[in-house]
Chain A
Amino acid sequence: MASPVLQLEGVSAGYDGATVIRDVELTVDPGEIVALLGANGAGKTTTLRVASRILRPISGTVRFEGEDVGRLAPHLLAQRGVAHVPEGRGVFFGLTVAEHFRLGYRGERLDLDHALSYFPALEALRDRRAGLLSGGEQQMLALARALARRPRLLLVDELSLGLAPVIVERLLPTVRRVAEETGAGVVLVEQHVQLALEIAHRGYVMSHGELVVERPVEELRRDRGLLIASYLGEGSAEPALQGVPGTGGRGG
């Protein structure tokens, strides 16, 4: 088995000295989709920001394909094959769709056909400015732009933000296809829990900056208590949490 694409080992990180995530342990294998779940403010976005190195961890190790990249400049990590589609603004509003695929660092080859094979609808929008696209089209463009780089690790943050469920239902299965066909590892932060669980292989649940649950999705789908407890406020279903490692003994 190849080494994991992404390994976070005991990673803590935050902003301005305030720790937002603590001791996060997370691995993603090639071709694997990992769903990162949890309530707003639980630290999911921060985890992705550390994984793509736009946030430097306070402590712990970030490994990309086995190599410690904790000190690498974020644009160099991106050039090695990490594609991070950030929450909300993964596109440049001032650039046209076509320009997004001409935009690249020196020596980069963007595979437009590869990207369009997943999102044929973009073909018709080539000359439109990204700022004039609908929310769903923008997210499609952001994903397509990421796929055109043939990334080995894809980090997707809140793809469904502000989108109608029907659009999300079309976008998310594409992520699954990408992982299966290209062997890329995927971390998916998603508020549509059901949809995320349908396409992911494993799920992590974060609560207040810590990973509290790590299970195959089948178990998460089966055992609703785990999810409910962590996702909708763990105070809501205390009994279900008992016996889950990692949830006890947190400060308060």
Chain B
Amino acid sequence: MTAVLETRALSVSYGGVRALADVDVEVGEGQLVGLIGPNGAGKTTWIDAVCGFVPATGETRLDGRTISGMPPTARARAGLGRTWQAAELFDDLTVRENLSVAADRRPMWRLVGEALTGRESDPPNVESTLELLGIGELADVAADELTQGQRKLVGVARALAPGPRVVCLDEPAAGLDSAESRALGQRLRQVVDSGVAMLLVDHDMGLVLGVCDRVVVLEFGRVIAAGPPEVVRRDPKVTEAYLGRAAQESQAILDASAIGTGT
């Protein structure tokens, strides 16, 4: 299987502190990969580095082509999408506009022409993406009038609207209630099955362990475990990293969560 997105020895330092150290992550075609770890483990830093927002060493490849050193816009246009922890919607635009401004990849002179003639056209995909995430009714609502949960969904929709090869989701379920979170999991699965690879960072262990094909675990900027959810779940290093000591009791928690998330 070819990797859609992979990092090799990706490292990031902030003023002497190593936020990421030699991290290898691989997201294969049609895969949903979870990236988990305790707060401050470097998950968001990994997404920032992959998308070109923080300087990093090591290599990042998209569809086998190296994208290290490319600016964020170019990476996005090459087929890499992302969402943000705080959604970071364009608050002055409506939901539909948030999606279409991201999906519209026409060159600027075409847009200038459009402004001069006053004609508007919406890019394809926008309506279907809104429907896919179940936010069709919100299409004409201004982004700054949404609830936190709705903002997260719109953020995911905005990342998907341009039809990317792979999307990195930074805590899409934070702020959603459990029903919404489960629904989101199913929708993400559908999206992945339709051919968009995905990397999912989230604290909702039920969601990550339940829907992901593979899980990578970070702690203090290093990969401490990787593999299928059931393997990672049994890894004592993981339980210790996540829940501190009393590893056996933590193990019990993880086991229990496994029972419940057999989706």
Residue ranges of A at the interface with B (Cβ–Cβ < 8 Å) = 16-20, 39-41, 158, 160-162, 164-165, 168-169, 191-195, 207-208, 224-225, 227-228, 231-238, 250-252
Contact A39 B204 (CB under 8 A): yes
Contact B257 A228 (CB under 8 A): yes
Q: Would you call B175 an interface residue if the criterion is a C-beta within 8 Å of the partner chain's C-beta atoms?
A: yes
Which residues in A have their C-beta under 8 angstroms from that of B39? 40, 158, 161-162, 191
Query: Given A208-B178, A237-B260, do A18 and B243 touch, yes or no (CB 8 Å)?
Result: no
Which residues in A have their C-beta under 8 angstroms from that of B180? 252
Indicate the size class of the contact surface on chain B.
Answer: 35 or more
Which residues in A have their C-beta under 8 angstroms from that of B173? 41
Which of A168, A225, A233 is in CB contact (< 8 Å) with B207?
Answer: A233
Query: Given A165-B245, A192-B243, do A236 and B171 touch, yes or no (CB 8 Å)?
Result: no
Q: Would you call B132 an interface residue if the criterion is a C-beta within 8 Å of the partner chain's C-beta atoms?
A: no
Which residues in B have their C-beta under 8 angstroms from that of A39? 203-204
The minimal Cβ–Cβ distance linking B88 to chain A, given in whole angstroms, is 14
Question: For the complex, what is the distance from the CA of A235 to the CA of B262, rounded to whole Å?
Answer: 10
Which residues in B have their C-beta under 8 angstroms from that of A236? 205-206, 256-257, 259-261
Chain B residues 147-187 with CB under 8 Å of chain A are 147-148, 171, 173-182
Q: Would you call B114 an interface residue if the criterion is a C-beta within 8 Å of the partner chain's C-beta atoms?
A: no
The minimal Cβ–Cβ distance linking B8 to chain A, given in whole angstroms, is 26
Q: Would you call B131 an interface residue if the criterion is a C-beta within 8 Å of the partner chain's C-beta atoms?
A: no
Query: Given A41-B203, A192-B243, A194-B250, do A232 and B147 touch, yes or no (CB 8 Å)?
Result: no
Which of A40, A158, A225 is in CB contact (< 8 Å) with B171?
Answer: A40
The minimal Cβ–Cβ distance linking A142 to chain B, given in whole angstroms, is 16
- Residue of B whose beta carbon sits closest to that of A230: B178
Contact A16 B260 (CB under 8 A): no
Contact B240 A233 (CB under 8 A): no
The minimal Cβ–Cβ distance linking A251 to chain B, given in whole angstroms, is 8
Chain B residues 242-263 with CB under 8 Å of chain A are 243-246, 249-250, 252-254, 256-257, 259-261
Contact A235 B261 (CB under 8 A): yes
Q: How many A-B residue pairs have CB under 8 A?
A: 104
Which residues in A have their C-beta under 8 angstroms from that of B253? 224, 227-228, 231-232
- Residue of B whose beta carbon sits closest to that of A17: B145
Contact B171 A232 (CB under 8 A): no
- Apart from A233-B261, A236-B261: 9 A-B pairs, beta carbons within 8 A: A20-B148, A41-B171, A194-B243, A232-B257, A233-B205, A235-B260, A235-B261, A236-B206, A252-B180
Contact B206 A41 (CB under 8 A): no
- Residue of B whose beta carbon sits closest to that of A166: B245
Question: For the complex, what is the distance from the CA of A195 to the CA of B173, rounded to whole Å?
Answer: 26
Which of B144, B145, B146, B244 is in CB contact (< 8 Å) with A192?
Answer: B244
Which of B175, B240, B243 is in CB contact (< 8 Å) with A41?
Answer: B175
Which residues in A have their C-beta under 8 angstroms from that of B147? 18-19
The minimal Cβ–Cβ distance linking A199 to chain B, given in whole angstroms, is 13
Q: Would you call B40 an interface residue if the criterion is a C-beta within 8 Å of the partner chain's C-beta atoms?
A: yes
Which residues in B have their C-beta under 8 angstroms from that of A41? 171, 173-176, 203
Q: Would you call B79 an interface residue if the criterion is a C-beta within 8 Å of the partner chain's C-beta atoms?
A: no
- Residue of B whose beta carbon sits closest to that of A250: B177
Q: Would you call B136 an interface residue if the criterion is a C-beta within 8 Å of the partner chain's C-beta atoms?
A: no
Question: For the complex, what is the distance from the CA of A158 to the CA of B38, rounded to whole Å?
Answer: 12
Which of B175, B244, B245, B257 is in CB contact (< 8 Å) with A233?
Answer: B257
Question: For the complex, what is the distance from the CA of A29 to the CA of B176, rounded to whole Å?
Answer: 32
- Residue of B whose beta carbon sits closest to that of A169: B245
- Residue of A whose beta carbon sits closest to that of B41: A162
Query: Given A40-B203, A207-B178, A235-B182, do A194 and B249 touch, yes or no (CB 8 Å)?
Result: yes
The 10 closest A-B pairs by CB, nearest first: A162-B40, A233-B206, A236-B260, A41-B174, A252-B179, A40-B203, A192-B244, A208-B177, A194-B246, A236-B257
Question: For the complex, what is the distance from the CA of A39 to the CA of B244, rounded to whole Å?
Answer: 16
Which residues in A have their C-beta under 8 angstroms from that of B256? 224-225, 228, 232, 236-237
Which residues in B have their C-beta under 8 angstroms from that of A194? 243-246, 249-250
